[in-house]
């Protein structure tokens, strides 16, 4: 992945750009214009297929080529398509509650998702605006399947 990323950056950008991994859990890739650095979440990259990681890289490289002002507008889209990106405008996994293993359920059946094991008792904000011991969440750890991961990374336009 690292080799492929460097090759991609060399092909489309100049020497000032670098590649690395970051620790994000909610978005798969990032284009940092300030540091001129494109990064992939090591957490999500390990769970996605090579093809999907390539797509995330293409999405971010297109951002780097298009410039920050382009956003996900027509210029970014044109560049992204040109370099082989086939996904949507959403950053993969950026709202992936599907990938959060901790599920909290309040006594009235409302559910919330967390990426880390909750350390303190919290109560349901739907049931009570302030902390209320009657509505504390009960936490369960669930298995995240490959199907869940694939569903979470499907582009949402
Ligand atoms: Zn984007
Ligand atoms: Zn509730």
Quote the CA–CA distance of 2 and 156 in Å, as a whole number: 26
**Distance from the alpha carbon of residue 98 to the mean position of ligand 1, in angstroms:** 20
**Distance from the alpha carbon of residue 57 to the mean position of ligand 2, in angstroms:** 39
User: Among 32-41, 66-75, 80-89, 145-154, which stretch is predicted with the lowest mean pLDDT?
Assistant: 145-154
Per-residue pLDDT at 80 = 93
**If you average pLDDT over every residue of the chain, what do you get?**
85
**Distance from the alpha carbon of residue 92 to the mean position of ligand 1, in angstroms:** 9
**Distance from the alpha carbon of residue 156 to the mean position of ligand 2, in angstroms:** 28
Q: Residue 9: which of 37, 30, 48, 50 has the closest Cα?
A: 37
Residues with CB under 5 A from ligand 2 (ion): 106, 108, 110, 124, 126-127
Residue 95 pLDDT exceeds 70: no
Q: Are 38 and 62 within 8 A, CB to CB?
A: no
Exposed, middle or buried: residue 134 (CB in 10 Å: 0-12, 13-18, 19+)?
exposed
Quote the CA–CA distance of 108 and 136 in Å, as a whole number: 10
Per-residue pLDDT at 94 = 45
| Domains of the chain and CATH, by start | 2-82 (3.30.2010.10), 102-141 (no CATH)
Per-residue pLDDT at 39 = 94
Residues 44-69: tens digit of each pLDDT: 888 888 888 899 999 999 999 999 88
Per-residue pLDDT at 156 = 44
pTM of the model: 0.60
């Amino acid at each position: 992945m690292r080799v492929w990323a460097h090759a991609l950056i060399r092909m489309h950008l100049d020497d000032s750009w670098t590649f690395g991994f970051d620790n994000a859990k909610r978005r798969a890739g990032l284009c940092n214009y300030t540091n001129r650095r494109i990064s992939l979440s090591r957490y999500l990259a390990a769970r996605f297929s090579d093809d999907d990681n390539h797509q995330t890289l293409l999405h971010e490289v297109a951002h780097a080529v298009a410039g920050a002002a382009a956003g996900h507008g027509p210029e970014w889209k044109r560049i992204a398509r040109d370099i082989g990106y086939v996904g949507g405008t959403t950053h993969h996994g950026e709202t992936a509650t599907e990938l959060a293993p901790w599920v909290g359920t309040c006594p009235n059946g409302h559910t919330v998702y967390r990426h880390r094991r909750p350390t303190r008792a919290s109560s349901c904000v739907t049931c009570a605006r302030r902390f209320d011991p009657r509505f504390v969440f009960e936490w369960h750890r669930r298995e995240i399947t490959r199907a869940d991961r694939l569903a979470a990374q499907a582009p949402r336009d």
